[in-house]
Chain A
Amino acid sequence: MFEQISQRLNQTLRMLRGVVCVDEASLIVALRDLRLALLEADVNFGVVKDLLAVVRERAQRQEVLDSLTPGQQVVKVVHEEMVKLLGGTQVRLQLKGATPHVIMLVGLQGAGKTTTAAKLGQQLRRSGHSPLLASVDVHRPAAREQLAQMGTNSSIPVFASEGDDPTVLAREAIEKARLAGHDVVVFDTAGRLHLDGAMMNEAADIVEVLKPGNVIYVADSLAGQDAVTSVSVFHERLPLTGTVLTKLDGDARGGVAMSIAAVTGLPILYAGVGERVEDLEVFHPDRIASRILGMGDILTLIEKAQEGVDVEAAAILEKRLRDSTFTLEDFREQIRQMNKFGSMSKLLELLPMARGVDKKALDPAEGDMRSFSAIIDSMSVEERRHPQTIDRSRCRRIAKGSGTRIQDVNRLLKQFNTARKLMKKLGRHRGNPLDMMQNANFGR
């Protein structure tokens, strides 16, 4: 189901990307598809509504409409707003409070707190700290045993004492950390339901004792709409400082990241991406935004395109396409722009739709691109503008001048003709020059 939706969204955005004038109708279609994709990705209903309102408002502003590529601007606005909601830039965990610094993990049952505690311990040790893991989960059977085993497996000291009062255990753990000279203590707490008053009080009591510099909410990336309800209550009752998103190694879109960030404003510090203790990554707001939309790195491509492509040159090119005056000079201009991306294969890697492309087929094409440039350089202005004037003897001269063979020149001309035909067709749809470049080279 999701593939279909994100495919359609891709189509819509792709269409919009090349559009020169964003009218109300195409904006409505795009926003509708966007809404569906976001909801299917489990972004909360209210969060989606607010986001779309902002996107709509910005899309209708003059600077977007007046820009050379308003369609692209709209897509960019969507992405920008999503990343903004997700906290913008990457935020690192800051150890705070008295030494030993206390990090307390809280969350619903089964979110992945215990595993995250062990992973955080590993991360902290790697960055030169001396962490102690401590479990104050007196509720789930063998929860303390689980943390103890995970600590043992990765040689991180663990405090896991008997006893049924978590606040007492918390004090003991801090004492142990002081004596043993640990500078950070990661506390694993029992999973609790936000509706469970007694359990929420227990968590507040533990906070009272520990005065933690960090209280981190551990959120399951598989979660749905209700994530905002639970995290809001946790946020109200406890001094949360950040969140960790778990189980991101699955195929969930992780829209919950946006929901949580939107309602709490808390930074997402890490992403859990596997069952091993090393599987904890720094969270990248821009990557998750693309993941939520299921668009590969199409947005990165747009950004790159905006940096790399000379907008004015693109506009002139587009005009020529429409007037069917596309020449070898334009063709060379395109090749020059392609080179700004690095290589053809790099550009293609960024495109979700190009996944099926045979990578081997790329290499000769890349070679062609280089020689094509040289061949065109060896032509006279007349020949570039009117390639039909290139006869056998001119062909020989061009090959000699560019250090290529006659076959190469012929291949260029053939490819150029195919490209021109394709572009004529695409020009009617006001396509994007980059898309056309691909079509020209790979017959896609």
Chain B
Amino acid sequence: MHRITSSQSPDEETLEALEEALILADVGPTVALRLVENLRQVAVGDESPRERLREAMLEILARSSSAVSAPSKNQPHVVLLVGVNGSGKTTSVAKLAARYVAQGHSVILGAADTFRAAAVEQLEVWGERLNVQVISHTAGGDPAAVVYDTCAAGRSRGVDIVLIDTAGRLHTKDNLMAELSKIHKTAGKVIEGAPNEVWLVLDATTGQNGLRQAEDFLRYVGVTGLVLAKLDGSAKGGVVLSIAETLDLPIRFVGTGEEIDSLAPFDAEAYVNGLMGQD
């Protein structure tokens, strides 16, 4: 890519290539167009448009980043995982559990996906592998009851972290979103201030619909952050930029594989580099 001097505005070819890269990374045409439009103004200093674009994206991500609420000593820290079907919630719960256990925390899991066939069994397999207790009811039961029991068990056993897996649901299904809202309230009835975190698990292959998902889950259950799953593919999950910008939601973790330890805290720098094809 060309190096641009301070007196010139970047050439069209470069800008078009950047716009294409952004769109192919699922940043979305509107945001991509705006980011590139900003580069059109005369370059500042010796920075290449590519570098300035990188910085612009980092800035968007930095604005929404904030500290994760820290587990308190007195009561369990409750994290609720939500998302559409197949985004990777159950696997993310397992990975998070492994991570917290490795950090020396005691963890309990709630299998509140009582809808999908064998979702409970799936989480139980992970629980066994990690030697972490899983609270579950029979399939088809009331997920809020599972959440109640999980939080109660977490409190009475004095565990540090309660992770709750919920059924996948499309954000457009009002009844299922209302159910999720009920689950959310139930946690708070058992443990004051719970859930402490509500993380939306977003599949990195998701396109522009990701923003709609985030909007609706935010509205119903006050999402506090994102887990970007399946980032080990060739998809970049660029819609998180729109989400970070319009909804002020930080990305907490990225999932990068099927292994239990393939989950890492979000690193904006690494993410933006990956998005621009500079791994």
Contact = CB atoms under 8 A, between A and B. Distances in A.
Interface of A: 1-2, 5, 35-36, 39-42, 44-45, 108-112, 139-143, 145-150, 153, 193-195, 220, 222-227, 229-230, 247, 249-253, 255-256, 275
A194 B208 contact: no
A250 B258 CA distance: 27
Contacts, number: 150
Contact of B206 (A141, A147, A194, A224): A224
Contacts of B212: 251-252
Interface string B4-47: 00000000000000001001111011100000000000000000
A153 B117 contact: yes
B86 A226 contact: no
Contacts of A147: 117
Contacts of B68: none
Given A222-B84, A226-B234, 10 more contacts: A1-B28, A109-B86, A141-B122, A146-B116, A146-B121, A147-B117, A224-B210, A225-B26, A247-B170, A251-B212
B19 to A, nearest CB: 9
Contacts of B28: 1, 39-40
B207 interface: yes
Nearest to A224: B207
A224 B230 contact: no
A235 to B, nearest CB: 15
B132 interface: no
23 contacts: A1-B242, A35-B29, A40-B28, A42-B208, A108-B230, A109-B230, A110-B88, A110-B203, A112-B85, A142-B118, A142-B125, A195-B233, A222-B84, A222-B203, A224-B205, A224-B210, A224-B235, A225-B25, A225-B207, A225-B235, A226-B24, A226-B26, A247-B84
A94 B127 CA distance: 43
Given A109-B86, A250-B172, A251-B172, A1 B30 contact: yes
Interface string B100-137: 00000000000000011111011011100000000000
A256 B117 contact: no
A158 to B, nearest CB: 11
B54 interface: no
A229 B204 CA distance: 14
Given A109-B86, A141-B122, A146-B118, A40 B208 contact: yes
Interface centre among A40, A193, A225, A256 (most CB of B within 10 A): A225
Contacts of A111: 86
Contact of B87 (A45, A110, A140, A255): A110
Contacts of B242: 1
B211 interface: yes
B84 A230 contact: no
Contacts of B206: 222-224
B232 A42 contact: no
Contacts of A194: 233-234
A193 B209 contact: no
A291 B209 CA distance: 14
B209 A222 contact: yes
B218 to A, nearest CB: 15
Nearest to B239: A224
A140 B125 CA distance: 10
A220 B86 contact: yes
Nearest to B167: A275
A249 B121 contact: no
Interface of B: 20, 23-26, 28-30, 84-88, 115-119, 121-122, 124-126, 139, 170-173, 203, 205-213, 230, 232-236, 238-239, 242, 258
Nearest to B86: A110
B205 A223 contact: yes
A51 to B, nearest CB: 15
B205 A220 contact: yes
A225 B172 CA distance: 22
A49 to B, nearest CB: 9
A227 to B, nearest CB: 7
By secondary structure, the A interface counts as loop
A140 B258 CA distance: 9
Nearest to A193: B233
A412 to B, nearest CB: 45
A36 B230 contact: no
Lowest 5 CB-CB distances: which A-B pairs, in order? A224-B207, A110-B86, A42-B207, A149-B117, A141-B125
A253 B25 CA distance: 18
A150 B121 CA distance: 14
B4 to A, nearest CB: 24
Contacts of B238: 224
Interface centre among B29, B30, B236 (most CB of A within 10 A): B29
Contacts of A223: 205-207, 235
Contact of B209 (A42, A109, A153, A227): A42
B122 A140 contact: yes
Contacts of A251: 171-172, 209, 212
Contacts of B87: 110
B85 A2 contact: no
A222 B207 contact: yes
B168 to A, nearest CB: 8
Contacts of B139: 149
B233 A40 contact: no
B153 to A, nearest CB: 22
A230 to B, nearest CB: 7
Contacts of A226: 24, 26, 205, 233-236
Nearest to B129: A141
A42 B238 CA distance: 12
Nearest to B211: A1
A148 B118 CA distance: 9
B237 to A, nearest CB: 8
Contacts of A149: 117-118, 139
Given A110-B88, A250-B170, A45 B20 contact: yes
B115 to A, nearest CB: 7
Contacts of A220: 86, 203, 205
Contacts of B121: 141-142, 145-146
Nearest to A219: B205
A102 B30 CA distance: 44
Contacts of A230: 205, 233-235
B84 A141 contact: no
B205 A40 contact: no
